[in-house]
């Protein structure tokens, strides 16, 4: 089925250019890469070039290293073998379909340096192992391949990443019968939407993978690490679909993995760890899970960041952020619970947060006036201007939460006009067209807090929705002349 492909051609040329720059595409004769066209309906249409083939594999076989194969919308009942570094592009991922008719591997990539995008790849065979291979939608035997913007539907395994240095980006997985992805080592898995039909979202049995910014919707396990080490699992949304929902993440004999900034919702348990040690779990939101995590070696894992001393958010944590402890637990209202720790049981989180995402901070620009404090001066105030990045409104700053150097609050008595009138504290004092929130601190209190020296002063606070901001001033001199 043919249609105008002007935007598709532009995208294809971008992909080709990228590979040309990196050296992935090199013709043996140093000729310009060629584009081949495939259409399941013979003939040509207005504004479209004549297609070269009606079968995708024939185009691949005729293409040379570095060429592109552009496939018009249609259904192609094929099993494709990619045995050269080329770019395979479908016109429309929803309507350019490669159907394996429930046998074998649908797209078998035997070389490195290929790129595949814009297809629905469906109906692989349903046998787990065939010798060293796995029946799946896409099988990556060699590395340095990019698979992006595809739909993997109704396969036994969606993609089997059996090699390194691959990028699996922005694909959709649905109705796959076993695992959506099987992953070995040194790969990037990012931006995918993974709706597990029956089993596991990602089954990772390798090292040094980056699994980030994916959305998982699973009935059994979201991410499973088996003998997997030094992986980064970050920024994923992991939610149980109706069903048992064993665990958002399950680790077995896996170590030194960093698991942070994930949202884990509605599971039987958010985590299960078996014989897994030296993993670091922090800045995760755990909400709506029925039971606490299990860990056979909780004291040998870090359930908080060991340097930041920050843990996770647990929606069943009932402790107080009252500063009643010691060390970091002596700081009240820093977002970290100080009582009923560790949570949820011995060996787990010593620094639980009491609000979701409380660790996320807006980077504020801070201007302190004056920038030289003479302790013999008779001035009354130190003025602070807080500027937030685009997308945030300084009117939403909760002034009662502002602190200088984590200890000194600003003047908030409404008898002062600069406190009472918005026109007096919302301004653009540096004329950069960006508004600032102005507050004043008692000068004597600041000078008492700061002995003579040079400082980059820290200012923190919260927005009305609880989001934290933080920033540092340029150098401030405190002097005490004779």
Q: What is the pLDDT of residues 335-372, one digit of tens each?
A: 999 999 999 999 999 999 999 999 999 999 999 999 99
Q: Please state, for a pLDDT cut of 90, what percent of the chain lies above it.
A: 82
Work out the pLDDT band at 131, boundaries 50, 70, 90.
low
Residue range 410-429: average pLDDT? 94
* pLDDT score of 194: 96
Which residues, 6 or more positions from 142, have their beta carbon under 8 angstroms from its beta carbon? 109, 110, 111, 112, 163
CA–CA distance, 210 with 182 (Å, rounded to integer): 14
Quote the pLDDT of residue 415: 93
The rounded distance, in Å, linking the Cα atoms of 198 and 155 is: 12
Task: Using pLDDT thresholds of 50, 70 and 90, give the confidence band for residue 8.
Answer: very low
pLDDT of residue 244: 77
Does the pLDDT of residue 295 top 90, yes or no?
yes
Band of residue 10 on the pLDDT scale cut at 50, 70, 90 = very low
The two structure tokens encoding residue 261: 């900034």
Terminal CA-CA length for the chain: 87
Asked whether the predicted pLDDT for residue 196 surpasses 90, the reply is no
Segment 320-333 shows an average pLDDT of: 93
pLDDT exceeds cutoff 70 at 475: yes
pLDDT-derived band at 30, boundaries 50, 70, 90 = low
Walk across the sheet containing 74-76 and list its strands.
Answer: 74-76, 96-99, 120-122, 151-153, 172-174, 193-195, 215-218, 237-240, 263-265, 285-287, 313-314
**Angle formed at CA 83 by CA 77 and CA 86, multiple of 5 degrees:** 90
Mean pLDDT to the nearest integer, 373-397: 94
pLDDT at 287: 98
Phi and psi at 442, nearest 5°, equal -65, 120
- pLDDT tens digits along 439-465: 999 999 999 999 999 999 999 999 998
Residue 29 pLDDT greater than 80, yes or no: no
* Share of residues in the chain with pLDDT > 70 (%): 91
- Grade residue 49 by pLDDT with cuts at 50, 70 and 90: low
The mean pLDDT of 39-64, rounded to a whole number, is 82
SS3 content of the chain, % helix, strand, coil (to 5): 10, 40, 50
Is residue 22 within a helix (H) or strand (E), and if so which, with residue range? helix 6-22
Stated pTM of the model = 0.84
Segment 201-221 shows an average pLDDT of 95
In contact, 145 and 164? CB cutoff 8 Å = no
| Residue 375 confidence (pLDDT) above 80 | yes
Interatomic CA distance for residues 147 and 191, integer angstroms: 12
pLDDT averaged over every residue in the chain: 91
Range scoring the smallest mean pLDDT among 250-259, 308-317, 417-426: 417-426
The pLDDT of 169-197, averaged and rounded, is 94
Q: Which residue segments constitute the domains of the chain, with CATH numbers given?
A: 6-330 (2.160.20.10), 361-479 (2.60.40)
Q: Which one is predicted more confidently, 44 or 409?
A: 409
Distances (CA, A) of 416 to 360, 394, 395, 421, 424: 33, 20, 18, 9, 10
The model's pLDDT over 84-130, given as tens digits with 9 standing for 90+, comes to: 999 999 999 999 999 999 999 999 999 999 999 999 999 999 876 65
Comparing CA positions, the residue from 327, 336, 374 lying closest to residue 354 is 336
Q: Kindly tell me if the per-residue pLDDT of 64 is higher than 90.
A: yes
In whole angstroms, what is the distance from residue 367 CA to residue 428 CA?
12
More confident residue, 34 or 5: 34
pLDDT band for position 2 (cuts 50, 70, 90): very low
């Amino acid at each position: 089925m043919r249609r105008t492909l002007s935007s598709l051609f532009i995208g294809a040329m971008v992909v080709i250019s990228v590979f040309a720059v990196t050296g992935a595409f090199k013709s043996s004769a140093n000729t310009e890469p060629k584009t081949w066209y495939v259409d399941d309906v013979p003939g040509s249409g207005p504004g479209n070039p004549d297609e070269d083939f009606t079968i995708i594999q024939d185009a691949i076989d005729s293409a040379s290293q570095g060429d592109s194969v552009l496939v018009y919308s249609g259904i192609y009942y094929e099993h494709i073998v990619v045995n050269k570094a080329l770019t395979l592009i479908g016109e429309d991922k929803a309507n350019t379909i490669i159907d394996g008719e429930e046998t074998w591997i649908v797209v078998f990539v035997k070389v490195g340096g290929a790129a595949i995008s814009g297809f629905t790849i469906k109906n692989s065979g349903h046998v787990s192992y065939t010798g060293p291979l796995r029946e799946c939608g896409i099988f990556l035997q060699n590395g340095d391949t990019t698979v992006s913007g595809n739909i993997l539907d109704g396969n036994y395994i969606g993609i089997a990443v059996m090699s390194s240095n691959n990028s699996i980006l922005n694909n959709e997985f649905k109705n796959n019968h076993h695992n959506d992805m099987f992953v070995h080592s040194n790969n990037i898995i990012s931006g995918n939407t993974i709706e597990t039909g029956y089993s596991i979202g990602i089954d990772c049995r390798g090292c040094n993978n980056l699994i980030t910014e994916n959305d998982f919707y699973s009935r059994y396990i979201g991410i499973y690490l088996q003998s997997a080490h030094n992986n980064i699992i970050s920024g994923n949304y992991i939610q149980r679909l109706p069903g048992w929902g064993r665990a958002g993440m399950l680790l077995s004999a896996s170590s030194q993995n960093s698991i942070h900034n994930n949202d884990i919702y509605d599971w039987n348990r958010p985590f299960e760890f078996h014989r897994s040690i030296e993993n670091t779990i922090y800045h995760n939101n755990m909400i709506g899970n029925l039971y606490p995590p299990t860990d056979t070696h909780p004291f040998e894992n870090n359930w908080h960041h060991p340097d930041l001393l920050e843990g996770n958010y647990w929606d069943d944590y009932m402790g107080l952020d009252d500063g009643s402890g010691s060390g970091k637990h002596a700081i009240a209202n820093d977002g970290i619970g100080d009582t009923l720790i560790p949570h949820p049981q011995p060996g787990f989180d010593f620094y639980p947060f009491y609000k979701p995402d409380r660790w996320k901070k807006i980077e504020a620009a801070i201007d302190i006036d004056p920038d030289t404090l003479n302790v013999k001066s008779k001035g009354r105030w130190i003025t602070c201007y807080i500027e937030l990045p685009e997308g945030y409104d300084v009117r939403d700053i909760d002034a009662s939460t502002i602190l200088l150097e984590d200890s000194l609050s600003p003047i908030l008595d409404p008898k002062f006009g600069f406190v009472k009138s918005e026109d007096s504290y919302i301004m653009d004092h540096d004329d950069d067209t960006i508004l600032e929130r102005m507050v004043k601190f008692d000068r004597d209190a600041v000078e008492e807090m700061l002995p003579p020296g040079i400082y980059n002063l820290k200012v923190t606070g919260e927005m009305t929705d609880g989001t934290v901001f933080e920033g540092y001033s340029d150098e401030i001199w405190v002097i005490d002349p004779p």
